[in-house]
A and B are shown apart, each in its own frame.
Chain A
Amino acid sequence: MPVEVWDIRPALAPMVSFVCALLVFIGGSRAGWRRFWSMSAALLKFIIVASMLPGTVGGVAYTFRFAEFAPGIGIGFRADALGMAFATVSSLLWVVATVYSIGYMKGERSLGRFFGFFALCVSATVALALAENLLTLFIFYEVLTISAYPLVVHDETPEALRAGRTYFTYTLTGGGVILLGIAMTYVVSDGVLAFGHNGIVPPDTTPAVLAILFVMLTLGFGVKAAIMPLHGWLPRAMVAPTPVSALLHAVAVVKAGAFGVVRTVHDVFGVELLRQTWLPDALAYLAAFTIIAASVMALLQDNLKRRLAYSTVSQLSYVLLGIALLNPWAAVAAVVHIANQAVQKVTMFFAAGAIQRTTGKTNISEMSGIGRRMPATMGAFGVAALGFTGMPLLAGFISKWHMSVGGFDSGMWWVALVMAASALLNAAYWFPMLYLAFFKPVSEEPTLGEARPSLLYPTLVCAVLVILLGLVSDLPGMPLSIARTAVAQAFGM
């Protein structure tokens, strides 16, 4: 167990960016002000989160609790390894995403609103990552749900409004189920909701209550993690501007769902308790089904963003599968995949956005020869795509490797088959596109060249991260090492 040290930083990180977000709202009509505070929010938060990394590596969990909200439960923050894994990734990618969206959104309207809610979203994400108890996690989970809505409907078209309504219907219903689950947990555990004890639910709970609780919490969080058949909102939410899609699909919203499931398994029930039930197996089968089925769906999409969306649905279930196997190797895969998938998917979304802004193309079939026109952008895209197919030395491989080992280790050989099938399917829907982009002749005459620097450089930075996460991910403070610490704590090793 990590040593708890009283420190304000876990609370400070989200608070600083909440304040910056408010400032963005207040003076958001002026571009300079907006840019300054958006960047400040992103940078300050990243610095605060990063400053806690050495502590995490050294086995310290910084903790900060506010006054109690009710007997036994309060708003509290605690930077344990699992939370830090998620918080570090989202705050780092937010810095990159902010630069990118300043470039991408130039000339659009309602930018004060856009950047304000953008900042709110990531503040809420870091707050829920560092939440000390289930109720705090839920509070910020819902703040995230609400603040992502204005981003989804940013274009204000009827289609966007419809997508927004679908998004709200799914996520808020999921939130309601989670709330009921938490209330039930609170009653069952006699008022305890704090993480960090390898399980809140008492071991003598009846199997029926355990099953109801598990189903409510995993499916409730599963809505945002887009586990099939609860994924319907995600492809539709693609109408949002591309930086939002990147944020929603890689960093904030969907990962909050996956993270919630990880917390549920590790900190609400505990590995020991779940081992005695059939519940995690059911989750594992559902996740495996999602991995394959969503990849097949992705094959059928011609619109690049929709293909990316289904790919996200598939990739998120890696996290769920890894956590459901209750095996240390697989759990490492799950936690590290939160980072790996985020970086790879952000790269691809950034590239897709850069293509869209530079050439106006959104469908894959129109992208013939685009690699010759925009070699750097498509190169970055290719690196991420290779990562998803599990190519060694890239980020995705780390996840797939740990997952497969975990599968064999826990006697579930079919997991390795799922990994292999998923790699093949990823290759099936990304390679033809890369071929089209690099080897087919340019479809139209005017050559526009690369995207503008504010779009290109963030994309390249992300691509470099994909490579780094494949090469040196086990250095202290990098995702793999943090994931190992988190898993060691959850498994009591």
Chain B
Amino acid sequence: MSEWPGQLLVSVLALPVTGAALCLPLHRISDRVATAWTLLVTTVTCAGAFMVSVRVSHVGPFSHHLGGWLAPWGIELRADQFGALVGLAAPVFALVVFYGVRYSRHAVEAARRGPYDALLLINLGGLLGFSFTGDLFNLFVFMELFSLSAYALVAYGKQKVAAAASFRYLVMGAFSSLLVLFSIGLLYQLTGTLNMADMAYRLADGVPHRPVVLAFGALALGFMTKAAVFPLHLWLPDAHAAAPSPVSAILSGLVVKMGIVGLIRTYDIFQGAGGVDLPTFNMGLSTLGAIAIVFGAVLALIQDDIKLMLAYSTVSNIGYIAVGLGLFNESGLTGASIHIFNHAVIKAALFLALGALTFRTGYRTVSDLRGIGRRMPITVGALSVAVISVVGVPPTAGFVTKWYLAVGAVAAARPLLAATLVFSALVMLIYYLRIVNAFYFRPAVHEEVERAVDPPLDMLAPVVLLSGASLALGLIAQVPIGIALPGVMRLLGGG
């Protein structure tokens, strides 16, 4: 029972949450010590999560039963392929925190920095716990951990809208949590278990049952809100744009993906449940996804504020994932699952690069940042690479996703969907070009821009690493695909 992978799983979940508790007292002692502690905990946790993913990719999913109590009775921690994809993205979190050290000195006042660090660690614990649990109630607890910390982190934004955005995020988030909790209660009543695998087994008798459908609806709707699937995305743009850049990177890159992971868990649970019409749900999901892609793209391109543009691009990218899930065939699901990881890398690169520009100049709109390309060549170069990746131009990570989704749509005989996938990205590229043109080919309008230089190495390195990864992951795509594929096969009922 007490083999090392299981212990690793436990420590990956326990470490950040307990570590967060120490942040506040340490901060009283010294700012430096608290920062070092946060970095240490993040690094160790993320390395651990990464190792869990490596283990899953080598030997397949594994479980740990807390206290040795076996599955239906005890609490099960489980690392499956989709959790492993989140674990694979954990280094993104670590890089963001590294970057955030200097950034938060500049963006967060000293007195609020202790809670800020603690919230980050709680968020990390919530994300990983959510991904690595086999128990539906624990899923809810971890969901609340990352959600509550996210609401608070948004409020750290300096602009006036931050408080309002945070509040709106809180309301929508609470609504979705309520739905999930309601569904969990219902499911517990129906099946007498909280273990997800056991629940799926008990629901698979195929008897149509109205409360089962209700539970499915509530769970799916709750997770769709968390994932900001159109039209439940309303909370997202302001929240992601108002937060400090490192927080935006985490929210857009990882936190919204939890809704997607939740949806995949929903599929797992209701796979054979009677009365649940998955094909119809999938048709609806892929259609909403397609609308989200176009909607997000169009709204992104009318923004002057680059952060809002990136936030709408997240709406669009969640649309891609929703389309892939809704297609529910091998290519579609593969595309969707690897995009959980790919988009985390790409979007983090974009937000961090933009954060660096804001850090140096104080500006964040396309028109204010004209001419910055010559002053901060490495940062803007990294930003350009990430832009090319996010719109899915080969040979980047974004292209791999687009390819899988396009093949999935063609295989499902939905050419219109395939065309939407391909061409909305092109529309975006044409307008992203506006940014690149403004940065490189237009004269500067502000003196701050003229004086700017690339940020110090501790901020620059994460940006360059993430941007390089968003390019390289197109060439070594077999790594995430290799992890995702067995999970996809399981969802499709093939093993």
- Per the bound structure, the CA–CA distance linking A176 and B403 in Å amounts to 11
The answer to the question of A173 belonging to the interface, with a C-beta cut-off of 8 Å to chain B, is: yes
Assuming the contacts A67-B478, A165-B430, A187-B410, asked whether A180 and B394 have C-beta atoms less than 8 A apart, the reply is no
| Cross-chain pairs A/B with CB under 8 angstroms, 15 sampled | A68-B478, A75-B475, A139-B394, A153-B437, A161-B437, A164-B437, A168-B430, A168-B433, A180-B410, A180-B419, A183-B406, A183-B418, A186-B407, A187-B407, A187-B411
Q: With A69-B478, A153-B441 as given contacts, are A138 and B407 in contact (CB-CB < 8 Å)? A: no
Q: Which of A456-485 contact B (CB under 8 A)?
A: none
Contact partners of B440 in chain A: CB under 8 A: 150
CB distance from A430 to the nearest CB of B (A): 35
> B377 → chain A, closest Cβ, in Å?
9
**Given A156-B441, A168-B433, is A142 in contact with B393 using a C-beta cutoff of 8 Å?**
yes
Partner of B395, one of A139, A153, A168, A169: A139
What is the 8 Å Cβ interface bit string for chain A, positions 271-315, against chain B (1 contact, 0 not)? Answer: 000000000000000000000000000000000000000000000
- Encode contact with A along B394-434: 1 for CB under 8 Å, 0 otherwise: 11000110111011011100010011001101100110010
A residues near B481, Cβ cutoff 8 Å: 70
Q: What residues of A have a CB within 8 angstroms of the CB of B422 in the complex? A: 176, 179-180
Residues of B in contact with A (beta carbons under 8 Å apart): 388, 393-395, 399-400, 402-404, 406-407, 409-411, 415, 418-419, 422-423, 425-426, 429-430, 433, 437, 440-441, 475-478, 481
> In this complex, what residue of A is CB-closest to B400?
A69
**How far, in Å, is A184 (CB) from chain B's closest CB?**
5
Complex Cα distance A8/B406, Å?
Answer: 31
Chain B residues with CB under 8 Å of A66's CB are 475
Is chain A's binding surface mostly helix, strand, loop or mixed?
helix
Bound Cα distance from A295 to B423, whole angstroms: 33
Give Cα distance in the complex from A175 to B423, angstroms.
10
- CB contacts (< 8 Å) of B476 on chain A: these are 67
Q: Which residues of A71-92 are within 8 A (CB) of B?
A: 75
Q: How far is the CB of A378 from chain B (nearest CB, A)?
A: 35
Give chain B residues whose Cβ lies under 8 Å from the Cβ of A184.
410
* Residue of B410, B411, B440 with highest tally of chain A CB at under 10 A: B410
Contact A165 B393 (CB under 8 A): no
Q: A139-B395, A146-B393 are in contact. Are A183 and B441 (CB under 8 A)?
A: no
* 0/1 string, A138-167, CB within 8 A of B gives 1: 111011001000100100100001001100
The 3 closest A-B pairs by CB, nearest first: A139-B394, A183-B406, A176-B422
What residues on B are CB-neighbors of A146 within 8 Å?
A: 388, 393
- In the complex, given contacts A161-B437, A168-B429, what are 11 additional A-B residue pairs having Cβ atoms less than 8 angstroms apart? A69-B400, A69-B478, A70-B403, A142-B395, A142-B399, A146-B393, A153-B437, A176-B422, A180-B406, A183-B409, A187-B411
A70-B481, A146-B393 as given contacts; A169 in contact with B430, CB under 8 Å = yes
Asked if B394 and A138 make an inter-chain contact with CB atoms under 8 angstroms apart, the answer reads: yes
Q: How far is the CB of A11 from chain B (nearest CB, A)?
A: 12
Check: A420 CB closer than 8 A to any chain B CB. no
Q: CA separation between A375 and B437, bound complex, in Å? A: 41
Q: Output the nearest chain B residue to A113 by Cβ-Cβ distance.
A: B440
Complex interface residues of chain A between 180 and 213 (CB less than 8 A to chain B): 180, 183-184, 186-187
A105 at the interface (CB under 8 A from B): no
In the assembled complex, which residues on chain A have CB atoms less than 8 Å from the CB atom of B402?
A: 179
Chain A residue nearest to B441 (CB atoms) is A156
Q: Which of B404, B425, B433 has the most chain A CB atoms closer than 10 A to its own CB?
A: B433
